[in-house]
Structure 1
Amino acid sequence: MMKRILVPTDFSEEAHHAYEVAVSVARKAGTGIKLLHVVESVSYSPSFSATGDVLTGNNMQQVYVLQLMEAMKVQMNKFLKSVDHEGVPVVQELDVDRPISKIKRTIKEDNVDLVVMGSKGSSGLDEFLIGSNTEKVVRTAECPVLTVKHRHPDFNVREVVLASDFKREVGHAMERFKSFQALFGARLHLVYINTPGAFESSGNLFSKLEDTAKKYNLQNYSVNIYNDVIEEDGILHFANDIRADLIMMATHGRTGLSHLLSGSIAEDLVNHTSIPVLTFQLK
């Protein structure tokens, strides 16, 4: 059961898109949201509390950070009200820290069930919630991460792609994916991307996918073999063909490489597709 959704924000347009989607998911799940903004400071000091209050000392750095935090409080309040979240409890937190460290700590301390993040993708690397920072959260979060790039004012998931090589034990991830499917009553499309470098016969692959579906007692699903030159392109082309609302994948957190497909497919998808991507790190 989903109890807490975390939305890290830098107050950008992409973060706003993520907040909208998080509210839609929270309404479906009957859960609450935490908005988190982290002021990154090279000379971070524990002299500041989570709300920006000075605890000790009064040097210029502390004065500057305090003033910055006060400005961020105003920004956070505007951001909070920028999405109609009636019926969804939303709390907010500001902190001075390293963003990735704070996000990981919050996930653990608050028992977060889902992180929803905005991403610009592979361009504009001067922003916080893009590129390597988003990918770091995808690789290291101990809960599913839903990455959103564009606006989805009515986030209603009907068609879901689950891409895998279906060779490894993915039970924990599959249960999370099934829960998300059930939340929206969506149809799940299992897909194996058959590439020239790792070609298998369709008969063997269909058997493998059907065995997976039976093993995890999947409901409302289809099995699909899709031919393409590389896995990432195949996933994107298949998702576009069926007009998917969501792509789901598991990742290997230690290296950032996909545990289910060769290469850093999950991170590439987050960067290159306009479709929301739900990733889950396998231990």
Structure 2
Amino acid sequence: MKRILVPTDFSEQAQYAFEVAVTIAKRTGAAIKLLHVVEMPYSPSFSATGDTIYNDNMEQVYMMRLLETTKGNMARLMNKVNHAGVDVVQDVDVDSIVGKIKRVVAEDNVDLIVMGSKGSSGMDEFLIGSNTEKVVRTARCPVLTIKQHQPDFEIKEIVLASDFRREISKAMDAFKFFQQLFGARLHLVYINTPGAFESSTNLRSKLAHTAEKYGLHNYTINVYNDTIEEDGILHFADDINADMIMMATHGRTGLSHLLSGSIAEDLVNHTSRPVLTYQI
């Protein structure tokens, strides 16, 4: 792992994400890019590249003050988090948040995004979701979502939930990396629901085959019964007091996503535990 991207809106959750990214960077030697994106409508008189082509003095004053405030917020965030020994660069841009993140991932060959999230629920979630959810759905690299303060970020027990039907080899490489990075125990779990019930014997055999196929070590095999997959994953994680949940996501968008949703994105919104997602 060489490059970690940390988008920030200067919230408490974003600071928690920066702290976690620093911990991972110290373990891996990775560099961090701390990114803040100002979302605002483009106009013919504004250039996001920094070239001033202003036609309106009020717009120029507003943007100058906004950039000054942003630089001050960046400086305070850097001072709050002990990042000694870690290469941290700052980037501020005017763009769409998700669009900018996707470009940085591609241009910088980012290996991991670490994002803070407050989550979303109810009508807000149904209508727009969160920026974190959108990044989880579209990012071409693993996304680690942080909601709570993680002063030590010691990962010992990891839940890996899947239907183990689709090809997840690319995601599995990322999951194995995190397991090995922290020396954690991996708990493979299949959530058995009334609508898609299978015998425990068949499911355990399927999970054992997955573990053998990907050369897993230090793992357990689990079949957990619940009404829906998301609840089952959350309840299982509670039962074993998991430090992290890992899942692959299908990355659907538009009408397909609206109709089918994604368990991984729901988990990002509804659990307080760190969640590592990978789009397949």
Same fold (TM over 0.5): yes
Equivalent position to 1:278, from 267, 276, 279:
276
* CA displacement, residues 213-240 of structure 1 (integer Å, 9 cap, x when unaligned): 0000011111100011110000001011
Q: Structure 1 stretch 57-66 or stretch 166-175: which is displaced more? A: 57-66
User: 2:13–2:147: 8 Å Cα contact kept in structure 1?
Assistant: yes
**Aligned counterpart, 2:150:** 152
Q: CA deviation at 1:57?
A: 3.1
Query: How many Å separate the matches in 2 of 1:161 and 1:37?
Result: 31
User: 1:257–1:264: 8 Å Cα contact kept in structure 2?
Assistant: no
**Aligned counterpart, 2:103:** 105
Taking a change above 3 Å as real, the CA distance of residues 123 and 170 of structure 1, as seen in their structure-2 partners, is closer
**Aligned counterpart, 1:37:** 36
**Which SS does the other structure have where 2:241 is aligned?**
coil
* CA displacement, residues 102-130 of structure 1 (integer Å, 9 cap, x when unaligned): 1111111111100011111125999xxx9
Root mean square deviation, CA, Å: 2.2
Amino acid paired to 1:18? A
User: 1:251–1:257: 8 Å Cα contact kept in structure 2?
Assistant: no
User: 1:187–1:220: 8 Å Cα contact kept in structure 2?
Assistant: yes
Q: How does 1:30-109 map to 2 (within 5 A)?
A: 30-43=29-42, 47-48=46-47, 50=49, 53-59=50-56, 60-109=58-107
User: 2:191–2:229: 8 Å Cα contact kept in structure 1?
Assistant: yes
Q: Structure 1 stretch 110-119 or stretch 65-74: which is displaced more? A: 65-74
**Which SS does the other structure have where 2:164 is aligned?**
coil
Q: CA deviation at 1:30?
A: 1.3
Flag structure 1 segments of 5+ consecutive residues without an equivalent: none
**Aligned counterpart, 1:17:** 16
**Which SS does the other structure have where 1:275 is aligned?**
coil
Query: How many Å separate the matches in 2 of 1:46 and 1:244?
Result: 51
Query: How many Å separate the matches in 2 of 1:194 and 1:152?
Result: 31
Q: How does 1:127-166 map to 2 (within 5 A)?
A: 131-166=129-164
Query: How many Å separate the matches in 2 of 1:17 and 1:75?
Result: 15
**Which SS does the other structure have where 1:33 is aligned?**
strand
Q: CA deviation at 1:54?
A: 4.1
Taking a change above 3 Å as real, the CA distance of residues 46 and 23 of structure 1, as seen in their structure-2 partners, is farther
**Which SS does the other structure have where 1:173 is aligned?**
helix
Q: Which runs of 4+ in 1 moved over 2 A?
A: 43-50, 53-58, 60-63, 123-126, 254-259
Taking a change above 3 Å as real, the CA distance of residues 63 and 252 of structure 1, as seen in their structure-2 partners, is same
**Which SS does the other structure have where 1:167 is aligned?**
coil
User: 1:251–1:258: 8 Å Cα contact kept in structure 2?
Assistant: no
* CA displacement, residues 232-262 of structure 1 (integer Å, 9 cap, x when unaligned): 0000010111111100000011338999xx7
Q: How does 1:159-178 map to 2 (within 5 A)?
A: 159-178=157-176
Query: How many Å separate the matches in 2 of 1:230 and 1:123?
Result: 18
Equivalent position to 2:204, from 203, 206, 210:
206
Q: How does 1:198-237 map to 2 (within 5 A)?
A: 198-237=196-235
Query: How many Å separate the matches in 1 of 2:201 and 2:233?
Result: 20
Q: CA deviation at 1:89?
A: 1.0
**Aligned counterpart, 1:180:** 178
Query: What percent identity do the matched residue pairs reach?
Result: 67
Q: CA deviation at 1:80?
A: 1.4
Matched pairs, number = 274
TM-score, normalised relative to structure 1 = 0.91
Query: How many Å separate the matches in 1 of 2:242 and 2:33?
Result: 28
Taking a change above 3 Å as real, the CA distance of residues 54 and 265 of structure 1, as seen in their structure-2 partners, is same
TM-score, normalised relative to structure 2 = 0.92
The structure that is helix-richer by fraction is 2
